[in-house]
Chain A
Amino acid sequence: MSALATPPQERPPRLRTDPSGSWRAWPLRDRVLLGLCWAAGLALIAIAALIVLYMLVKGVQYLRPELLWDRPEASIDQSRSGGFLDPILGTVLIVVGALVIAAPLGVATAVWLTEYGKPKWLARMVESGIEVIAGTPSIVLALFGLAFFAQGGLGFLSATGEGGAVFGRSLLICCAVLSLEALPLIVGATREGLLSTPRHVREASYALGKTRAATIHRVLLPVARPNIATGCALGMGRVAGDTAVVLLLGGGTLQLTTNGSIPGLNYLQGTGSTLTTYVYANSPSGEGGAPEKAYAAAFLLLALVLVLNWAVDRIARGSNERLGWTR
């Protein structure tokens, strides 16, 4: 149909490489780079496998079933220092608590940034705020948390001593500070999900006479659900693996203690330990209490994080199959 004249035929350009695509015919430089790429990938696999295998061998060697349900006791004698029930429960408490705080905040922040984001200067400030939190080392966060929550007015959140002295330490405070570590991950993942939703999907909802709020609630959040789940799982991994915050703010007791009178909440207001602080306290570089138990606990922690990573992978893969819009 086109009335344009057909352009004159050009001679095909001379190819530097074999069009059949075999790497053997590539120039030396390309072959070296290809080799480096392969080496980098393989090295990464080797390192990951080494870590998992080492911890598996060391951990399984010392892991006894009763360690999972025995409470730890402070004892120099290895046979009487108990298991790590309390650190396991502490880890679970902290992960759940931090997520309960971080997930709504993170999702709300991401929705505001992508769907509203006005005024622009405020959105930019929110973004840099998130970046600052994401970049702050956890020990600094812990130190800040200690100073912040030791104020008398916030005493109801933390373990208190005789006469109402505020220590600024409790599992609840750990949750609050650790939620800051999970927050940037949840915001990032949720934003990614919202941004990757094609514009015409939002417009389809507006074109049905829906408000922005209804569109967010009924279309965009369900679309971003796999991304939110990914962010939460990443955040959980991060929280479960943090040592510094729990070390400074967890109160440093091996066993879970209660504080206050409301059942359930009193554990959060009390002090305790997690698998990470347990490993630290028992590792050869810590107080050197029980390296065998440190290895067993470390293996348990690694397994927990690996399961979380696997879950992230599954969620991400499922979402790719589910949403098939053309852009």
Chain B
Amino acid sequence: MDPLMPPPPIRRIVVDAPHVVVPAPEPETNGAVRMRPRVTTDVVERMRVEELTITYGPKVAVNGVNLPVHQGEVLALIGPSGCGKTTLLRSLNRLVELTPGAARGGKIVLDGDDVDAIEVTSLRRRISMVFQQPNPFPMSIFDNVAYALREQGSKRVKRAELMAPVRNALERAGLWDEVGDDLDRPALRMSGGQQQRLCIARALAADPEVLLLDEPCSALDPRSTATIEELILQLRESLAVVIVTHNLQQAYRIADRVAFMYLGELVEYGLAEDVFERPQHTRTAEYVGGAFG
């Protein structure tokens, strides 16, 4: 790719979705309550995973997975530990390439373009990621968000110019009201829940199209978890959200679609209600019923 070419323009697809509340039936398998109204209109497909296979040396982590990712929906990847869900997630923004020995087969498509054809730094600005552990950088709250906006390594852009987008990102992450008056505070002095929301703000700052979340609540207390879950539900209107979670109740609460993986293979994919209440496969039924995990 010509290095002088400007990065491809970000395609915003506005989904005009009337929010129709369809009361979810009371779950029988667990006590979780679905939190939000379902979007009933058609959603837009942004990414597609085709025959994806990822191996670490002799170990096959992901085996022949086909999966669409839609804007306007939360897709939850569930499955027992080591089933390849995090690897699948990390392959979407090509982060898996950083793992020594990892090899990928198959195809991943973002808006019709093969991700291998997109320059990796611009790909990762379009598909951003939040990690399991809150990991703000050791700088101020402002600089953490501004880091995502600035050119590579540069500090040249003035603070005043960046204030508006930084504020916007912090507002979208629901953090502005708590930290807006003291943006110079070191980010690592915040609470764990605040740190994780800062990481979400940082991921949102570059205005991505897809947001990947790798067990974002596993290190947090229930109250912070609830805040972040509400945040995810707001965010899915404007971008595609893919979340890996160990927490079945969380998947049930927030996911529109669920993909159940087992030993690297995609066993079942469908609407959350279907996967949780009418699973087609025995393994899925056992897993969502809590038989193994």
Q: Which residues of A contact B (CB under 8 A)?
A: 1-3, 198, 200-201, 203-211, 213-214, 217-219, 222-223, 322-327
> B152–A213 contact, CB under 8 A?
yes
Contact of A208 among B98, B132, B147 (CB under 8 A): B147
Indicate whether B266 reaches chain A with its CB closer than 8 angstroms: no
Indicate whether B128 reaches chain A with its CB closer than 8 angstroms: yes
Residue from A207, A325, A327 with most neighbouring chain B CB atoms (10 Å): A207
> B219–A208 contact, CB under 8 A?
no
- Chain B positions within 8 Å of A206 at CB level: 95, 98, 124
Closest 5 CB pairs of A and B: A214-B153, A209-B125, A1-B290, A209-B124, A214-B152
Contact of A322 among B95, B133, B138 (CB under 8 A): B138
Smallest CB separation, A200 vs chain B (Å): 5
Contact of B135 among A200, A210, A211, A217 (CB under 8 A): A200
Indicate whether B186 reaches chain A with its CB closer than 8 angstroms: yes
- Chain B positions within 8 Å of A322 at CB level: 138, 186, 188
What number of A-B contacts does a CB cutoff of 8 Å give? 88
CA distance A87 to B4 in the complex (A): 57
Contact of B93 among A1, A2, A3, A207 (CB under 8 A): A207
Report if A222-B139 is in contact (Cβ < 8 Å); known contacts: A200-B133, A207-B93, A322-B188.
Answer: yes
Indicate whether B206 reaches chain A with its CB closer than 8 angstroms: yes
CA distance A211 to B122 in the complex (A): 10
Task: Give 7 CB contacts A-B under 8 Å.
Answer: A200-B135, A205-B137, A208-B128, A210-B153, A222-B139, A322-B138, A325-B188
Indicate whether B131 reaches chain A with its CB closer than 8 angstroms: yes
> B121–A210 contact, CB under 8 A?
yes
CA distance A218 to B98 in the complex (A): 19
A210 to chain B: closest residue by CB = B152
Report if A200-B95 is in contact (Cβ < 8 Å); known contacts: A206-B124, A211-B152, A213-B153.
Answer: no
- Chain A positions within 8 Å of B133 at CB level: 198, 200, 325-327
Indicate whether B202 reaches chain A with its CB closer than 8 angstroms: yes
- Chain B positions within 8 Å of A222 at CB level: 137-139
- Chain B positions within 8 Å of A208 at CB level: 124-125, 128, 147-148, 202-203, 206
Report if A203-B121 is in contact (Cβ < 8 Å); known contacts: A214-B152, A218-B153, A219-B137.
Answer: no
Given contacts A204-B199, A206-B124, 5 further A-B contacts (CB under 8 A): A203-B98, A204-B137, A206-B98, A219-B137, A325-B134
- Chain B positions within 8 Å of A2 at CB level: 290
Residue from A1, A205, A209, A327 with most neighbouring chain B CB atoms (10 Å): A209
- Chain A positions within 8 Å of B202 at CB level: 204, 208
- Chain B positions within 8 Å of A207 at CB level: 93, 95, 124, 128-129, 131, 203
CA distance A210 to B95 in the complex (A): 12
Smallest CB separation, B96 vs chain A (Å): 10
CA distance A322 to B199 in the complex (A): 18
In B35-86, which residues have CB < 8 Å from any A CB?
A: none
- Chain B positions within 8 Å of A213 at CB level: 152-153
B214 to chain A: closest residue by CB = A200
- Chain A positions within 8 Å of B152 at CB level: 210-211, 213-214
CA distance A325 to B122 in the complex (A): 27
- Chain B positions within 8 Å of A219 at CB level: 137-138, 147
> A209–B123 contact, CB under 8 A?
yes
- Chain A positions within 8 Å of B199 at CB level: 204
A225 to chain B: closest residue by CB = B138
B131 to chain A: closest residue by CB = A200
- Chain A positions within 8 Å of B121 at CB level: 209-211
A4 to chain B: closest residue by CB = B292
Indicate whether B291 reaches chain A with its CB closer than 8 angstroms: yes
Smallest CB separation, A150 vs chain B (Å): 43
- Chain A positions within 8 Å of B124 at CB level: 206-209
CA distance A105 to B95 in the complex (A): 31
Contact of A325 among B95, B129, B135, B292 (CB under 8 A): B135
CA distance A126 to B122 in the complex (A): 34
B199 to chain A: closest residue by CB = A204
- Chain A positions within 8 Å of B131 at CB level: 200, 203-204, 207
> A201–B137 contact, CB under 8 A?
yes
CA distance A204 to B128 in the complex (A): 9
> B153–A217 contact, CB under 8 A?
yes
CA distance A28 to B30 in the complex (A): 56
- Chain A positions within 8 Å of B203 at CB level: 207-208
Smallest CB separation, A229 vs chain B (Å): 14
- Chain A positions within 8 Å of B291 at CB level: 3
Report if A223-B138 is in contact (Cβ < 8 Å); known contacts: A1-B290, A206-B124, A209-B206.
Answer: yes
Smallest CB separation, B160 vs chain A (Å): 20
Contact of B219 among A3, A209, A326 (CB under 8 A): A326
Smallest CB separation, A313 vs chain B (Å): 20
Smallest CB separation, B100 vs chain A (Å): 10
Interface 0/1 of B127-161, CB less than 8 Å to A: 01101111101110000000110001100000000
CA distance A213 to B135 in the complex (A): 19
Report if A198-B135 is in contact (Cβ < 8 Å); known contacts: A207-B93, A207-B128, A208-B203.
Answer: yes
- Chain B positions within 8 Å of A217 at CB level: 153
B122 to chain A: closest residue by CB = A209
Smallest CB separation, A95 vs chain B (Å): 28
- Chain A positions within 8 Å of B120 at CB level: 209
Smallest CB separation, B213 vs chain A (Å): 11
> B139–A201 contact, CB under 8 A?
no
Smallest CB separation, B90 vs chain A (Å): 8
> A203–B95 contact, CB under 8 A?
yes
Smallest CB separation, A211 vs chain B (Å): 5
Smallest CB separation, B134 vs chain A (Å): 8
